[in-house]
Each structure stands twice: as C-alpha cells, then as structure tokens.
Structure 1
C-alpha cells in the first residue's frame, strides 16, 4: 500500500499542531515495512521535518519573513502536488489541510480527511481571523471524503453537529506525542525561579488575555513565581503594555521553542496551564504528562477527554475559578505529586505508534 500526503500543513508552518500530527504519523510509518508513503513537498521551513530524512525539500529560512516568497513557495508546492496526483502512483491520498485543489486531479482514488476541530465554525463570527470562509470548503471535502478521521470523540461530535455527514465513515483516532520517549541530547539548566508554563499561540480562542487577567492576583500574592510563555511568537506591544499595567513586566517571559527547550520547560514548571476555549485534541496536555508536569486545564472541548482524572480543571470564562485552580496547584506539593503520578499513568494510553496503526487500518478499509 502506498499513501500520498500533500504539502499543505508543511508549507508555511515552522511549528504547529497539524503539521506535528502529520509529521509524527509519517515518522511512525517510516519505521514499518507494510506501508509506503510520499510527501509531495518542495519548499518548507518546517522545523519537525529537519529531524527526519523522508522529505527532500528546499528550505528558505533567510527569506521566510517575505510574504511574496511564502506565496511563491505555496504555489510551487501545489503544482508539485498536482503533478504527483496526476501520476496516480498511490493507493490512498491524505491531504494535510482543507483545500479543494486536488479534487479535479484525484481521478476516483480514495482519500482520507482528518478533521481536527470546529473552531472556525464555533468561533468564526467572534474571531473572523480563524478562517470562517473555510466552512464551505470543509463541507465539500467532508462530503467527498471516503473516510474522515476525528482526533477525539469531542471532535467527532463537533463534526456531526456542524456538517451533514454519515457517522459510519468517521473514525475516532486519538493522537500521541514523541515526548513520551524523548531523551534530550544534553541537560539544560532549569530557569532560576519557579514558574507557571503557557505553551503555544496566545490570541483569540487560546484565551491568554483572560488567563493573564485571572492569574494576576495569584502572581502578586506569590512574588517568587513567574509566568513563562513558550512559542506562539514574541510578545506584542499590546501584551507588553498589559504586563506593564499589571506591574509584572519582569516576571513574564517569552521563550522560543525547540523540542529540547520545551521538554526542559515542562520538566521544571510548577504547572502547565491551558485555558483554551476550544481544542480538537490538545497535544500539549500529553506533552505535560510525558514530562511529569502538573496540568491545570480548561474544562472545555476535548481537554477533559484527554486529561481525564490526571488534571485540575477550571471554567475558562471564570476568573475566580482560574485563579483558584492555579493557586491550589502551586501551594499544594502533595497535589502536584498526585497529578504527576496520574499523568504518568494517563500517558500510557496514548502513543504515536497507536495513532499510526489505527490510521493504517483506515487506509486498509479503502484498498
């Protein structure tokens, strides 16, 4: 069996949950001899792909800040993917994002679509930047797909809520994380202060401004504790003004992410806090569990499904609830120890290999 993956999620994203999902899938398949795959990609600055040799693409990091260069890379990648589709040397096609360009070239071959979440459907009116215009494209692809993978039971229910889709062609496949088996090449010193950890993008439904507002009283009561934001881009001017107004400028820090740096941050954090309003799955939860980091999570969307009893939960719209959950964890060492123990047990239920095996079974249904 041969599977063709396209360029979409790898073209413009150095990091991100979707490209990470497909990268881990390909990395797992690269270790097997019962499946072949091709990633049709010519230009990318994706950091995950640097770890493996299954993609022979060109990098353009010095020019990555130029919008026209990224547009050109995307156009050339799409042309290359169309050429690979026209060659038809594959059994199953698995696009890595939501674009309909391939429909006229697939020539009756089956394709599998992964549905990550319904964030644009649920919050598109509130946050137009989320790509509300994707909904019509998703509708078409969902109708045409031979199988749909939902990354959680919550994601499946969202799919059934917003789209007219036959439940029989939907398969729920949970994700995994390579952090469960990650060993840093060198030991990185811990930061010289205790801290709460926030990971990933901060705007819109990620709910960082509300979280920061809620946690300010906690930080003022515990003056030795800092807040570290890993990834998601450097702080904006508006964020810096927010920190300054709160009198916390010197206790809120940004750190760029590599796997090694992120692993180290999880390992030494007092707690990982995830106040998101909507997640299709929530890989950072598994990353925290893998690193022995206590998790304090929003009680929305897929997060209780992933975290189960291994996390403390709060209502992300309730400032007092957020502050109370965070304060409980940072002031109770026994609770942190219990969360670490439960997280270590919970992570055993998830793995990249399990995700790959279940995805392989979906492909076999179509061949």
Structure 2
C-alpha cells in the first residue's frame, strides 16, 4: 500500500491563502484517492478529522522540526518555506509557490542568501518539483540550480467558490459604487497607484481588504488625504469568506496591480463573478487573467486612469464578457490540480526509492 504524507502544517491558519490552499487541495486529493493508497496529513490537534475518517493524521508540534523519522513512500511539502522535510531517504516532492522573499527590499542580502540556501537544499533533495505558475517555474530555474534529472511541473492552484454563495454585508458598506481589492496590504501589492481613479471618478469608492503592514497602510491613507479622496477609501482589514463574497458580488470592478505574484487567486475569484479585472501585467498574472483581463502597461496616474476608462467602456459594451470571464476562471479548479498531483504521485511510485 503506497503511503503518501502531506505536510499541511500551515493549515493552522485557515484565513491565510496558504491555509486555504492546503485545505481545498487536501479535500480534493482525498476525494480522488485511488484504491490502496494511504494518506497522512500533518495538522494541528483541533484539526484531526478535518479530511474525514479515510485518512490518517499526525499532530504538528515544535518537535516535528527536530524529530521526524517517519517513513513514507512519498513526502510532499506544499510550500517552499517548510521546516518539516524528510530525514529518511524517501521520494520527496517539493512545491514552490513563489520566490518573492528574494525580491523584497525590506530584507537584507544576508537574510535572502540564507533563505536561498534553504530553498536550494530542498531542491537538491527533491525527486520532483512543482510550481503554481510558469512564471514561478522560470524564476526557480533562474535563481536556483535544478538538477537535470529533476522534473519541474506547473500545476495551477484551484479556486473554491460555493455553488450557493453565502454573502454577509460588511459592518461599513461603501456609500456608492465601488472598486475592490483583497490581499495582504504591503508595498509590492502596489494598491496606492489606484487612488487616482477616485480623483477622476467622484462617485466611486475604493475598498482595500486584507491584513496590512501598518507602514504601508499609513502611506495609502496619507496619499488619499493629499488627493482629497480619503472619505471614499475603506480599509476593513481581514474579512471572512461570506463578507468577501459580498464585495465580489457588489463591486463594479476588481483591481489587482501587484508587482509580485506566484499565482493570484483573487483574480480568479473576481472572474468567477463575471467582474472586470484590472491587473498588473507582471509575473504570473497574465497566465491567470488571460485575454479577458485588462492590464496596466505602467502605473503613472494618467495611464492607470486611461486603462480603467477604456476597460470599463469595453466591459459595459460587451454583454458576453462576464460569461467569458467565468469561463476563464473555470480553468483553475482544485479537481484539475488534484488529478495532476495524483498522476505525478503515481509516476513517482514507479521510480526507485532514493
């Protein structure tokens, strides 16, 4: 009986993007589990049973970073920063979501080099590497050394949207039509460049949802004050799922000007609601938005305003565009991702144990 171990320790924070990835991919892997396979998930004590009774569980603890002489046929780490990797020789699959840490200016060259060495050590150990976009695969090959015999496969993330979407209005509702962004509010998300849209569109509000870095949030608020639009800026912080769906349902457009993305799940979520998406053309985002998203060629105020104006005119004049956006979003489903992982697991089992 092949034994597969999934390192899902980060599922402890189910409000994070990584927590949601572990949860939804894990559920679909269990649903598609071939006969005869044994799955084990690493979870917190209160999450034992989260994937049902047909799988087994190990409880995550600080000791796992030191003592982990577990024996499995395949060990899969679902993110690049794992501290819980196999000590015994086994088939090791390493998923890299992004190498953004190496590009962030707030970290010293020494810290980045230490992190890079950790990534390289896991790559050297892996029998297979997966990434969540072709952009990340290219970045891995440029910044790290992948052994010639180690395959690198792109398996896109999925997006899980309930058939019956529960929507809960936020505590503070925008006072008019609004534009929406959701994600971690830090400088590389680049959302401050969207404020000029409020200057030339006096009916619009801007909602920036998600956990923040205080210094960047303060920068956004100060810029909004200087532009005279702070009364139409809402920053509600982290929001729950049903409130998120409310914002997607009611927004006029979704903005995602991020400079660094391994994938960009919010873009898929917005397209699933048939909403026009205005995105950065950098990193992985053109893979996700495809031909149906609108892309900012630069982020000076004039270009941002003109790109938005033209995009909204096209969206409003094309009654079929919402349906095309929904079709684009359907390319990114957990059932597709899980099927590709199961194919890769089965291929790995046909290779000798290292």
Q: TM-score, normalised by structure 2?
A: 0.83
1:153 partnered with 2:134: yes
For residues 338 and 311 of structure 1, do their structure 2 counterparts lie closer, same or farther at Cα, with a shift above 3 Å needed?
Answer: farther
2: CA distance, partners of 1:107 / 1:275: 43
State the shift of 1:318 in Å.
Answer: 3.7
1:4 partnered with 2:5: yes
1: CA distance, partners of 2:266 / 2:188: 16
State the shift of 1:55 in Å.
Answer: 8.4
Q: Which residue does 2:331 correspond to in 1?
A: 349
Deviations 1:199-258 (A, max 9, x none): 11121321123x24xx32x31222110000121238644433332222222211123322
Q: Which residue does 1:22 correspond to in 2?
A: 22
Query: 3-state DSSP class of the match of 1:30?
Result: helix
Query: 3-state DSSP class of the match of 2:202?
Result: coil
State the shift of 1:80 in Å.
Answer: 4.2
Query: 3-state DSSP class of the match of 1:174?
Result: coil
State the shift of 1:163 in Å.
Answer: 1.2
Deviations 1:125-175 (A, max 9, x none): x23189624211111111111110011111111111111114651111111
Q: 1:308 aligns with which of 286, 290, 304?
A: 290
For residues 332 and 32 of structure 1, do their structure 2 counterparts lie closer, same or farther at Cα, with a shift above 3 Å needed?
Answer: closer
Partners of 1:111 and 1:146 within 8 A in 2:
yes
For residues 202 and 172 of structure 1, do their structure 2 counterparts lie closer, same or farther at Cα, with a shift above 3 Å needed?
Answer: same
State the shift of 1:101 in Å.
Answer: 4.3
- Using the TM superposition, name which of 15-24 and 156-165 deviates more: 15-24
Q: Which residue does 1:78 correspond to in 2?
A: 62
List alignment gaps of at least 5 residues for structure 1: 57-74
2: CA distance, partners of 1:330 / 1:80: 51
Query: 3-state DSSP class of the match of 1:253?
Result: strand
List alignment gaps of at least 5 residues for structure 2: 54-58, 350-354
Partners of 1:100 and 1:141 within 8 A in 2:
no
Query: 3-state DSSP class of the match of 2:98?
Result: coil
Query: 3-state DSSP class of the match of 2:75?
Result: strand
For residues 30 and 249 of structure 1, do their structure 2 counterparts lie closer, same or farther at Cα, with a shift above 3 Å needed?
Answer: same
Deviations 1:96-115 (A, max 9, x none): 33356445x53111111111
2: CA distance, partners of 1:160 / 1:301: 14
1:326 partnered with 2:308: yes
1: CA distance, partners of 2:158 / 2:133: 12
For residues 158 and 170 of structure 1, do their structure 2 counterparts lie closer, same or farther at Cα, with a shift above 3 Å needed?
Answer: same
1:134 partnered with 2:131: no
2: CA distance, partners of 1:363 / 1:78: 28
Q: Which residue does 2:40 correspond to in 1?
A: 38
Partners of 1:297 and 1:311 within 8 A in 2:
yes
Q: Which residue does 1:204 correspond to in 2?
A: 187
Q: Which residue does 1:172 correspond to in 2?
A: 154
Q: 2:206 aligns with which of 207, 222, 227?
A: 227
2: CA distance, partners of 1:228 / 1:186: 16
- Using the TM superposition, name which of 29-38 and 135-144 deviates more: 29-38
1:250 partnered with 2:231: yes
Structure with more of its chain in helix, by fraction: 1
Q: Which residue does 1:286 correspond to in 2?
A: 268
Query: 3-state DSSP class of the match of 1:178?
Result: coil
For residues 227 and 55 of structure 1, do their structure 2 counterparts lie closer, same or farther at Cα, with a shift above 3 Å needed?
Answer: farther
State the shift of 1:26 in Å.
Answer: 0.3
2: CA distance, partners of 1:258 / 1:154: 30
State the shift of 1:317 in Å.
Answer: 4.1
Q: 1:93 aligns with which of 56, 75, 83?
A: 75
1: CA distance, partners of 2:233 / 2:191: 13
For residues 316 and 284 of structure 1, do their structure 2 counterparts lie closer, same or farther at Cα, with a shift above 3 Å needed?
Answer: farther
Q: TM-score, normalised by structure 1?
A: 0.80
